[in-house]
Amino acid sequence: MLALEGIRIIEIGTHGPAAFCGGMLGDLGAEVVRIEVPVGSPLWKQSAFARKNNDHAWQTANRNKQSIAIDLDTADGREVAHALVSRADVLLEESLPGSLRTAVLDYAGCRRLSQRIVYCSITPYGQEGPYSHLPGDDLTAEALGGYMMMEGNSLGNIGNPVQGPPALPTILVAEHKAATHGAIAIMAALWHRRSSGRGQQIDISMLDGVVSQQGVRSRGRRELNLSGGIRETKDGKYVALAAGEPWTWANLIRTLGGPAEYEDRTVVQADRAKAQEVDAFLTNRFKTKARDEWISIFAGVDTELTPVYQPEEVANDPQMSMRHQQVEITTMDGRRMLQYGIPMHLPDTPGAVRSPAPQPGQDAEAVLRQLGYDAQAIRRLRQAGVVG
C-alpha cells in the first residue's frame, strides 16, 4: 500500500510549481489527474514548447499522473471539470488570482461543489498584496526575494568580501520551494479535515518561499570560514570541505600533513595573518593531488570532505545507487530515461514510479468512464472538441 493511496488530486497547471507539487504527492501514491488545455490552443502550443525544451524535468514531474484535455470555455467542458472536482480531495492550481472564476473553478466555485475540497493555489506573489495579480515566475521571485544577489555575493574562504553581480541560479529554487511548501500544506489541510470535515484554501507564494531562505545563508558567505568551502585539486576538479567541529578540523589538518599549530581553528581564525597563511596552505596542498586521490586518502577519516560532482557523475555514486535515487523508465514514446528516484523513504509505505508521464489528454476516456460517461457521451465530447 502507498502512503497517499485513495487521495484524489486534480491538477490545473502547465509546467510550473503545481506540476512539481503534484509529482511529489503522486510519487507517494496519490491519484493525480492533470487538466490540460485543448490540443492546438495557444496555451497548448506554449506548453508543448516548454515540454520539448525541459523534457527531462517535465517527464519527471508528471510521472504517476493521468491527463485529460478539457476546453473550459465550453459548458460541457466545465461540467466535466466540476464532476472531477466533486469527487476529488484536492485541487492544485497555479493561475493568477481570479483566472479560474469564469470556469467556476476558483475556490468559491469549488467549495460549492464540495465542502471537503482542499484548494491549493501556488502563485508568484500570493493571493493578496499589490503584486498578487502580476505575472511572474521563478526568476522574478528569486530577484524580488534577494536570492540572486545572495548568489552573486560571497565572503570567500576566509571572509574577503566579494561583491559580484546578481547570479542566475541553475535550478528552479522558487518553484521547487513553493512546490514543497504546497505539498506540506496539503498534508496539513487533509489532516485538519479529518476532524473538521471541511477543506480550506491554501495560499502559497513563490516569493514567500525565497524570502524564507534569507535567514539560512551559508556560513561561508557571512563570516570568516576556513573550515567550509570549495578547493580545487590537481586535475582541475574540486572537493568540498565542511570541517566545522574542532576534531574534524584537526583531523583535516593532520591528514593533509599540516603543522600542529594549524589544528586549533579558533586560534587560527582569530589571527587574520595566520588565517591567510592556513588558507594558502589548504589551496596549495589540495592542488598536489587529483580529486579522487584525496577522496581515497580521506576515506575513513573523521572529517567532512566530499567530491564536487558534475551532474552526470551523480548516478555512478554508490550512495545514490544504494538509496535507489536513479531509476530508469520508459517514456510513453518509447525512450529510455534516467530519472531521480523517490527522495522520501517510508519503509512501510514506500513511494513508487508506477507510470511514466502521460501524453497530453491520453487518459480522457478512462477518466470520463470513471465519472460515469458512456461511450456515446465520450464520442460526442471528443467530436465537439470538448475533451481530448
pLDDT of residue 155: 45
pLDDT of residue 72: 95
CA distance 166 to 220: 17
pTM of the model: 0.89
CA distance 23 to 61: 5
DSSP line for 202-221: EEEEHHHHHHTTGGG--GGG
CA distance 242 to 161: 20
Three-state DSSP state, 360 = coil
Lookup: cell for 284: 596549495
Give the fold, CATH level 3, of 8-214+323-383: Rossmann fold (3.40.50)
- The C-alpha R_g of the chain, in whole angstroms, comes to 25
Asked whether 193 and 199 are in contact (CB, 8 A), the reply is yes
pLDDT of residue 48: 63
Asked whether 248 and 226 are in contact (CB, 8 A), the reply is no
pLDDT at 16 over 70: yes
Asked whether 238 and 306 are in contact (CB, 8 A), the reply is no
Pairing of strands 305-307, 65-69: unpaired
Lookup: cell for 335: 525512450
CATH 3.30.1540 residue ranges of the chain are: 238-307
pLDDT at 351 over 90: yes
Query: Higher model confidence: residue 131 or residue 154?
Result: 131
pLDDT at 166 over 50: yes
CA distance 33 to 7: 11
Lowest mean pLDDT among 161-170, 178-187, 292-301, 343-352: 161-170
Positive or negative torsion for Cα 197, 201, 206, 212: negative
Lowest mean pLDDT among 42-46, 234-238, 304-308: 42-46
pLDDT at 215 over 70: no
Cα–chain-centroid distance for residue 308? 21
pLDDT at 59 over 50: yes
pLDDT (mean) for 207-230: 71
Q: Given pLDDT bands bounded at 50, 70 and 90, which one contains residue 44?
A: low
Closest CA to 86 of 58, 65, 68, 113: 113
Helices (H), 87-144: 107-113, 138-144
CA distance 246 to 90: 49
Q: Given pLDDT bands bounded at 50, 70 and 90, which one contains residue 6?
A: very high
DSSP line for 278-328: HHHHHHHHHTTS-HHHHHHHHTT-SS-EEE---GGGGGG-HHHHHTT-EEE
CA distance 42 to 7: 32
pLDDT at 86 over 70: yes
How many Å from the N-terminal Cα to the C-terminal Cα in the chain?
31
pLDDT at 53 over 90: no
pLDDT of residue 220: 43
What architecture is domain 238-307?
Answer: 2-Layer Sandwich (3.30)
Lowest mean pLDDT among 8-12, 171-175, 257-261: 171-175
CATH 3.40.50.10540 residue ranges of the chain are: 8-214+323-383
Pairing of strands 238-242, 228-232: antiparallel
Cα–chain-centroid distance for residue 318? 23
Q: Given pLDDT bands bounded at 50, 70 and 90, which one contains residue 223?
A: very low
Asked whether 336 and 280 are in contact (CB, 8 A), the reply is no
pLDDT of residue 315: 84
pLDDT (mean) for 118-146: 95
Name 144's Cβ contacts closer than 8 Å, sequence gap at least 6.
Answer: 131, 207, 210
CA distance 141 to 263: 43
* Long-range CB contact pairs, 270-277, < 8 A, 24+: 272/158, 275/158, 275/159, 275/224, 275/226, 276/158
pLDDT at 222 over 50: no
For 177-187, give one letter per residue: b (16+ CB within 10 A) or e: bbbbbbbebbb
**Residues paired with residue 328 on neighbouring β-strands, in sequence order:** 338
Q: Given pLDDT bands bounded at 50, 70 and 90, which one contains residue 56?
A: confident
Lookup: cell for 84: 472531477
